[in-house]
A = this chain, B = another copy of it.
């Protein structure tokens, strides 16, 4: 297996927190999880169907407006058990980052290669944007004290992502500056 169907457990974990429709799950990936995990709706909907067939989740439909149906899923008892079992399993070995910037850099043998400054500029730019987005999310979600208590895991990984981006930007800028000497 390419990665042991982690998506299945992520969906279960999301539904353990609250009822969600497929579209909501997709939005969670886009808005607050994209750095770490992402799935297209074409992967989410079939997975939801399988989970329901296997009895790990259950659904009911609600009307949005007059005709549009939205299918909400909740986790069942057996789904909860499956999720717990996975949460308690030891972590699988980490997967490679498959980061294109790093790979291109690796293939350059000299600091004088004219590709280097462009590569760094591009990467710096991308990480500046990402850092800004993450910091805006932090302001939005965890600015006030109360919110910091709830959603422990979400707060944790957002903070970690911000630190990671800052450290990476620092290193990138340092290395970029060193090119000119």
Contact = CB atoms under 8 A, between A and B. Distances in A.
Interface of A: 3, 6, 9-10, 13-14, 16-17, 33-38, 87-88, 90-92, 94-111, 113, 115-116, 119, 122-123, 126, 150-154, 156-157, 159-160, 163-164, 167-168, 171, 175
Nearest to A33: B106
Interface SS of chain A: helix, strand, loop or mixed? helix
A106 B151 CA distance: 8
Contacts of A115: 87-88
- Kindly name the residue among A6, A37, A100, A151 whose own CB sees the greatest number of chain B CB atoms within 10 A: A100
Contacts of A159: 171
Nearest to A4: B100
A97 B153 contact: no
B94 A99 contact: yes
A42 B9 CA distance: 29
A34 B164 CA distance: 20
- Kindly name the residue among A35, A126, A156, A171 whose own CB sees the greatest number of chain B CB atoms within 10 A: A156
A109 B164 contact: no
